[in-house]
């Protein structure tokens, strides 16, 4: 106790500097979003007026209502929600199964296959665009939900995180379940999944956010305005709204809202998930 007091006393100067730095950085980092909000809450003519105002002279929700009624923003929000949801569910399902197989079952070629799966890190997604585009074209999945969802369910990171976690669970539980008569899928469902609750949630949220934010793949596979997801659609808003910054900002904020909310509500899980995922790429 007294040691810590001693440290703090001698660092009073540093503390003041730290507080200052924190305030400045926080202000800087929150500013863009707050400014976007301020822009979105004013009538359109105020955004381009000659006189600059920090806060709206007239407060109005016009930009938001116009965004939601005209243009395709609601449709895009729906697409994003559906795609992100499907990607999350499918990725979790196939990753849990694969991770369980890699972790708890013994079969020939196990480490080889796992290494192959992890190889997917080396190649950037961008390099696969043309072949993927062609495959989707041949399967008739351009501009379709299936086309949007399927390539995104391959996630070696998630499998790796789950496998590490499963490896750390004492094998006794699996053996007891085997003695009780459970087949591997049953063991995964009734024993490993409940035990892994937290990490599964964390990875699910992270996957959801990643799928929601994915720009590149929808950009390649979607050409029809109706099938766009939010990140893609937002880049089309110039055409939709012309140069209407209040509306643009409103659209941006609406597009950010679901993931921002997810983060604010699940802050700890999101942090945990991203940390777990990053442990690999180093």
Question: Do 196 and 166 touch, CB atoms closer than 8 A?
Answer: yes
> Residue 85 or residue 263: which is nearer to another protein going by CB?
263
Rounded Cα distance between 188 and 174, Å, is 9
Give the Cβ contact number of residue 260 at 10 Å: 13
Residues 117 to 156 in contact with another protein, rule: CB under 8 A: 117, 120, 122-124, 126-135, 137, 150-151, 153-154
The answer to the question of residue 207 lying near another protein (CB under 8 A) is: no
Q: Which residue has the tokens 């599964």?
A: 200
| Closest approach of another protein to the CB of residue 156, in Å | 8
> Residue 8 or residue 61: which is nearer to another protein going by CB?
8
> Residue 60 or residue 125: which is nearer to another protein going by CB?
125
> Residue 7 or residue 69: which is nearer to another protein going by CB?
7
> Residue 69 or residue 124: which is nearer to another protein going by CB?
124
Rounded Cα distance between 167 and 142, Å, is 39
* Choice from 7, 55, 112, 168 touching another protein (CB under 8 A): 7
Residues 158 to 187 in contact with another protein, rule: CB under 8 A: 159, 170, 172-173, 175-186
> Residue 61 or residue 216: which is nearer to another protein going by CB?
216
How many whole angstroms from its chain centre is CA 163?
21
DSSP 151: G
The answer to the question of residue 194 lying near another protein (CB under 8 A) is: yes
Helix pair angle (267-281, 197-213), 10° resolution: 80
The answer to the question of residue 81 lying near another protein (CB under 8 A) is: no
Residue 131, CB half-sphere, CA atoms under 13 Å: how many? 5
Contacts of 117 (CB under 8 A, 6+ apart): 98, 156, 159
| Closest approach of another protein to the CB of residue 122, in Å | 6
Give the Cβ contact number of residue 34 at 10 Å: 11
Helix pair angle (110-118, 156-168), 10° resolution: 140
Size of site (CB under 8 A) for another protein: 115
Residues 17 to 46 in contact with another protein, rule: CB under 8 A: 18-19, 21-22, 25-26, 29-30, 32-33, 35-36, 39
The answer to the question of residue 115 lying near another protein (CB under 8 A) is: no
| Closest approach of another protein to the CB of residue 17, in Å | 10
Angle among Cα 119, 121, 125 to the nearest 5 degrees reads: 120
The answer to the question of residue 113 lying near another protein (CB under 8 A) is: yes
* Choice from 212, 221, 227, 240 touching another protein (CB under 8 A): 212
């Amino acid at each position: 106790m007294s040691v810590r007091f001693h440290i703090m006393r001698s660092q009073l100067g540093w503390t003041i500097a730290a507080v200052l730095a924190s305030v400045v950085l926080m202000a800087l980092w929150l500013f863009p979003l707050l400014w976007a909000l301020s822009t979105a809450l004013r009538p359109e003519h105020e955004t381009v007026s000659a006189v600059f105002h920090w806060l709206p002279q007239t407060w109005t929700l016009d930009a938001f209502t116009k965004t939601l009624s005209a243009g395709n923003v609601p449709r895009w929000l729906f697409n994003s929600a559906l795609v992100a949801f499907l990607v999350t569910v499918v990725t979790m399902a196939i990753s849990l199964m694969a991770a369980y197989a890699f972790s708890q079952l013994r079969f020939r070629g196990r480490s080889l296959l796992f290494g192959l799966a992890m190889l997917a890190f080396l190649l950037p997604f961008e390099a696969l665009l043309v072949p993927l585009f062609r495959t989707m074209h041949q399967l008739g999945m351009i501009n379709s939900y299936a086309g949007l969802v399927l390539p995104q369910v391959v996630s070696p990171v998630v499998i790796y995180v789950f496998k590490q976690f499963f490896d750390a669970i004492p094998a006794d539980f699996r053996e007891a379940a085997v003695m009780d008569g459970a087949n591997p899928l049953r063991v995964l469902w009734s024993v490993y999944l409940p035990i892994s609750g937290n990490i599964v949630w964390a990875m699910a949220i992270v996957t959801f956010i990643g799928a929601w934010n994915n720009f590149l793949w929808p950009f390649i596979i979607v050409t029809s305005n109706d099938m766009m997801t939010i990140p893609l659609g937002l880049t089309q808003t110039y055409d939709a709204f012309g140069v209407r910054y209040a509306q643009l900002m409103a659209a941006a904020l609406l597009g950010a809202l679901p993931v921002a909310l997810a983060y604010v509500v699940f802050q700890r899980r999101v942090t945990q998930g991203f940390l777990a995922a990053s442990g690999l790429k180093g």
